[in-house]
Amino acid sequence: MAQDIKEKIIRFYKGTEGEEAAVRMVDLAYQAQKNRKYKLTGFLTPFEQEVAGTIANSVDDIKVDFDGGYTGAERQRAAFCHNEFAGTPAFEISVIKAEWNGEFARLSHRDVLGSILSLGVDRDCIGDIIATKESAKILVDKKMADYFTNNLTQIGGTTVKTVIDELSSIAAKEERCKEIRATVASLRVDSIAAAGFGMSRSKAAVEIEADKVKLNWQSVKNSSQSVKEGDILSMRGRGRLEVAEIRGLTKKGRTGVLLKRYF
């Protein structure tokens, strides 16, 4: 029976960006079921978190909790817990603070992530990266904290100083939301992205082609892909867009939509 469920879950996510995560996580869920305690994942994308929720709902006596180190974290670790486990799962998250001279270097989130990955670590060891003008706070697997402080000495060719910081030093993430009422020619992803992110459809199509747009946390395959109410669009560097309401056709045959853009 358990094998049938595992195969069904893996088959459901086959060919998606959650396939590899589903394979790993379904095994962790069954390990938690067997030892009646909990099993911890690495840091997950929002889509992988949805996969974790599906797995927990499919495996008897298992629930799932999430933590990314601070309120509002995008990348989070999942703990598959047995219903009989009476304790609190330890999510094993540390934060590394990297500092540099902001007068002479402008380092971005991409610079920080690239330098970390160049150390040969897996992406799921790294959570959110909160970058400012002259520092970055990097959420990491606690087991890797000392490794990062000892080896992350440069970012983008700039010398940096790294120390282990306190999780309590990270402020809760606050998002701004703007409601956008628009009419679109169709519910194609390029039309919705153009209306929500304030650009032409041709520009939205270029961004999609460059793999900068995700629909429900998965890469958009082509501009003609359809969206529905409740879907989430994200565009690199421009935030997230929720299709909050589809309001039907206007007299001119266009579709009215209510979008919520989060910054």
99: pLDDT strictly greater than 80: yes
Please report the pLDDT score of residue 16 as a whole number. 86
Q: Is there a contact between 148 and 160 (Cβ–Cβ < 8 Å)?
A: no
40: pLDDT strictly greater than 90: yes
Please report the pLDDT score of residue 98 as a whole number. 96
Q: Is there a contact between 219 and 256 (Cβ–Cβ < 8 Å)?
A: no
Percent of the chain with pLDDT over 90: 83
What pLDDT band is residue 26 in, cutting at 50, 70 and 90? very high
Residue with token string 């869920």: 29
Please report the pLDDT score of residue 4 as a whole number. 83
* Torsion sign over Cα 221, 226, 232, 237: positive
Residue with token string 């601070």: 70
Q: Is there a contact between 152 and 99 (Cβ–Cβ < 8 Å)?
A: no
Work out whether strand 158-159 and strand 177-184 pair parallel, antiparallel, or are unpaired: unpaired
Q: Mean pLDDT over residues 28-56, rounded?
A: 96
15: pLDDT strictly greater than 90: no
| CA gap 94, 91 in Å, rounded | 9
Please report the pLDDT score of residue 50 as a whole number. 93
Please report the pLDDT score of residue 67 as a whole number. 98
Q: Is 141 exposed, middle or buried (0-12, 13-18, 19+ CB in 10 A)?
A: buried
Please report the pLDDT score of residue 213 as a whole number. 95
Beta-ladder partners of 128: none
Provide the b/e sequence for 183-202 (b: ≥16 CB within 10 Å): ebeebbbbbbbbbbbebebe
Please report the pLDDT score of residue 221 as a whole number. 85
Report which DSSP code applies to 211: T
Please report the pLDDT score of residue 105 as a whole number. 82
| CA gap 51, 29 in Å, rounded | 12
Beta-ladder partners of 261: 178, 241
Q: What is the mean pLDDT of the chain?
A: 94
Please report the pLDDT score of residue 141 as a whole number. 98
Please report the pLDDT score of residue 176 as a whole number. 87
| CA gap 109, 107 in Å, rounded | 7
Q: Is there a contact between 33 and 59 (Cβ–Cβ < 8 Å)?
A: yes
How does pLDDT run across 134-184, given as a tens digit for each residue?
999 999 999 999 999 999 999 998 999 999 999 999 988 877 899 999 999
Q: Is 157 exposed, middle or buried (0-12, 13-18, 19+ CB in 10 A)?
A: exposed
2: pLDDT strictly greater than 80: no
What pLDDT band is residue 113 in, cutting at 50, 70 and 90? very high
pTM, two decimal places: 0.83
What pLDDT band is residue 92 in, cutting at 50, 70 and 90? very high
Please report the pLDDT score of residue 241 as a whole number. 96
What pLDDT band is residue 1 in, cutting at 50, 70 and 90? low
